Structure 1
Amino acid sequence: MKNEHYLELDYLKGIGIILVILGHSFFFTGFDLVNKERYFGYYYIFNFIYSFHMPLFFIVAGFLSNKEYGIKYFYISKIKRLLIPYIFINIIDYIPRHLFSSFVNNSSNSLVRVIFYSGVATWFVYTLFMIFLIFPVLDKYIFKKDKYYIFLYFLLIINMLNLEIFNVNIFTLNRIVFYLTYFYFGYILKNYYEKIKQNKCFNNGLLYVVLSIFSIFFLYKYSENNITKVIYPFIGFMLCLKFSLSLKRYKNIKFLEFCGKNSLIFYLLEPFFAAIYRVGLVKVIDLKNHYIIVILFFSLKLISIYISAIIINKIKILSFLFGNKKKI
């Protein structure tokens, strides 16, 4: 049975990966742009992006995982889609990180770190793969049971309590516990998605206003406790989902669709271009205006990654190594 394609999810991932690139553009400028006292505007935008942009991808992953599958095909597909790109990009990352250690912020990327601690800049791929390793068990014995929602409450509570017992870095167990909450929420959302889209309250423009006002207030308190950190991603996701559905309703935006479909490539390439342009803009050209640096840093990275993704899609072996679903 052919799986249904959701164009709005491509838009959603496109928005998410653009926010990742923008969020990273506030780093490494030498201006400490996420300092609340000195640059409140940057601080606010940064917190807004970081409050939900990565949970968004786990929600989408959980949503798309709610389907029938064979165990063998499931694991093979995840190895191709996640594990091979993870290994490949960390091999590529190792060489320049050690040869040009003076130009990077972290020169350490040992084999131990790659195997047990998700590498330097690939934690998302590693954590998602680890969730998929245990997914069939969770799916059979928890997700598909009658009182499946109790597990979601359990995850919400333990993350709000921030229990020390779950604060374990090896195999990114701490991240698995946190992001499994959003993965599972996406899984459950799939069951009610069509009804939600047809609901008058969801389609009412007033919901935009309510969510926006609530998010502004909530974000101001975002970093003050674990409750806001756990809840806020749901608000950011709903705002982006409504926006994505609006875009789907009125226009077919190829750029955003391409970014979404190739979001993994964008994620894997971003640290390399970030290092290149950081050195160029800050150390070589020595720009002093932080507005110009942020704009150039963001736009140059986005354009370069976009062009690179087009090239990668045209070369089968590269497409395979970056996790695209193309056969060699």
Structure 2
Amino acid sequence: MYVENKRLPYIDMCKGLLIIMVMIGHMQNVCKELGVQNDVFINIDHLEWFWGPFFMPAFFVITGFCSNFNKPYRKFLISNIKGILIPSFTLGVIASWIGLLYASDLSIGSFFHWGIRRFLISGGYWFLAALFLSKLSYYWINKISNRYAISIILIIMHIIGYFLFTNSICYNIWYFQHAMMLTLYLYVGQSLKELQISIKDKTLLFSWVAFIALVGVVLLLGYESPHIAHNVTINNVLLIPHLIFSVWGAYMIIQTTKRLKENRLLIYLGQNSLIYYCIHIKFLYFYIIIYRDILNEFSFLYWFLTIVSVILSCTIVSKLLNTKYLKIILGKF
């Protein structure tokens, strides 16, 4: 990931860790759809209770940290069409092709269904649609010189988006309600870049312990772990706690990877996180199905091989798409 044309490996590593969290979180969802009952899978999935409050907002924080909202609007718009919308559509089609590995009844018509209906009407992938709209919105909000005014506007947007979503008041076209809730985190990321706040190692460790303990308190009180993803599990009681958890957790995961030794795998995952995000679910279906009969009794091995196989398969696709003549598919032209 670049900040002012300088690549920061720890930011890519952070995105790499976050995309692994996404894969782990989606794995149990796929298992439920396929009727796979496995106690080990369920227990590992419970880890999401603790990273759930921050792992998707953190992507927006990182985007705010790394984006330039001061470039000319036309250039800004084109770069986001190329970097978000084009790969959202093309990778959606590729994901449909990958689906042929386990669903042979898919037809050419299903690919057009993705392009015409799911993408043009619904926005395709919720995360990318929301990211696109939030970046365009924040571009203009960022023109306001008063930072307090920006904060108030974004908090009001967050509350309105939450209210619209939880009350199902209108159709969530292109996930604009998610965009309203998440635009705030672009500002958080931009602020972190400007302030350059750093903390000591011991303070960071204590912060993680405190974070986990407080999320645990929320769970013990009978509430669901609050998060904003495709499904939003925030309620009126947890609205403010989630804001605190999400900003706190996003800051800590960035600070944590900043202290880690550079890891080539995590860096590559982070640099190509969009590809992994768009196609990993299809590979999850495939490997959960093919490993089910031979590895179901070896629960942790089953889980581990599934995750590793998905990462390897996505990496192969990523390597292919990043070649000279195919990278146009990713909007790299």
Give TM class, smaller chain.
Answer: 0.7 to 0.9
Match of 1:209 in 2: 209
- The structural deviation recorded for 1:163 is 5.9
- The structural deviation recorded for 1:203 is 5.4
> Judging changes above 3 Å, is the alpha-carbon distance between structure 1 residues 26 and 68 closer, same or farther for their aligned structure 2 residues?
same
* Residue of structure 2 aligned with 1:62, choices 51, 61, 64: 64
Bigger mean CA deviation after superposition, 201-210 or 8-17: 201-210
Match of 1:147 in 2: 149
SS in 1 for 2:142: helix
Q: Is the 8 A contact 2:98 2:282 kept in 1?
A: no
Distance 1:5 1:96 in 2: 32
Q: Is the 8 A contact 2:321 2:329 kept in 1?
A: no
Q: Is the 8 A contact 2:284 2:310 kept in 1?
A: yes
> Judging changes above 3 Å, is the alpha-carbon distance between structure 1 residues 261 and 191 closer, same or farther for their aligned structure 2 residues?
same
SS in 1 for 2:28: coil
- The structural deviation recorded for 1:177 is 1.7
The residue type paired with residue 318 of structure 2 is A
Alpha-carbon RMSD: 3.4
Match of 1:86 in 2: 88
Match of 2:255 in 1: 242
> Is 2:296 aligned against 1:291?
no
SS in 2 for 1:316: coil
Match of 1:316 in 2: 324
Gaps of 5+ in 2: 227-232
The residue type paired with residue 92 of structure 1 is I
Q: Is the 8 A contact 1:131 1:180 kept in 2?
A: yes
**How many correspondences in the alignment?**
309
> Is 2:310 aligned against 1:301?
yes
> Judging changes above 3 Å, is the alpha-carbon distance between structure 1 residues 159 and 137 closer, same or farther for their aligned structure 2 residues?
closer
Distance 1:201 1:151 in 2: 34
> Judging changes above 3 Å, is the alpha-carbon distance between structure 1 residues 155 and 130 closer, same or farther for their aligned structure 2 residues?
closer
Distance 1:252 1:297 in 2: 25
Distance 2:8 2:146 in 1: 23
Distance 1:146 1:98 in 2: 51
> Is 2:139 aligned against 1:136?
yes
> Is 2:123 aligned against 1:123?
no
Distance 1:57 1:294 in 2: 25
> Judging changes above 3 Å, is the alpha-carbon distance between structure 1 residues 44 and 152 closer, same or farther for their aligned structure 2 residues?
same
SS in 2 for 1:81: helix
- The structural deviation recorded for 1:14 is 0.9
- The structural deviation recorded for 1:157 is 4.0
- The structural deviation recorded for 1:278 is 2.6
- The structural deviation recorded for 1:151 is 2.2
- The structural deviation recorded for 1:17 is 0.8
Aligned sequence identity (%): 26
Q: How does 1:1-328 map to 2 (within 5 A)?
A: 2-29=4-31, 30-32=35-37, 41-94=43-96, 101=103, 109=114, 111-119=116-124, 122-140=125-143, 142=144, 147-158=149-160, 164=167, 168-192=171-195, 194=196, 196-197=197-198, 199=199, 205-218=205-218, 220=220, 221=223, 222-223=225-226, 225-226=234-235, 227=238, 228-247=241-260, 251-282=261-292, 285=294, 287-313=296-322, 315-323=323-331, 325=332, 327=333
- The structural deviation recorded for 1:158 is 4.0
- The structural deviation recorded for 1:155 is 3.8
SS in 1 for 2:278: helix
Distance 2:102 2:27 in 1: 21
Q: Is the 8 A contact 1:48 1:219 kept in 2?
A: no
Gaps of 5+ in 1: none
The residue type paired with residue 116 of structure 1 is I
> Judging changes above 3 Å, is the alpha-carbon distance between structure 1 residues 165 and 204 closer, same or farther for their aligned structure 2 residues?
closer
> Judging changes above 3 Å, is the alpha-carbon distance between structure 1 residues 181 and 202 closer, same or farther for their aligned structure 2 residues?
farther
Q: Is the 8 A contact 1:51 1:236 kept in 2?
A: yes
Match of 2:230 in 1: none
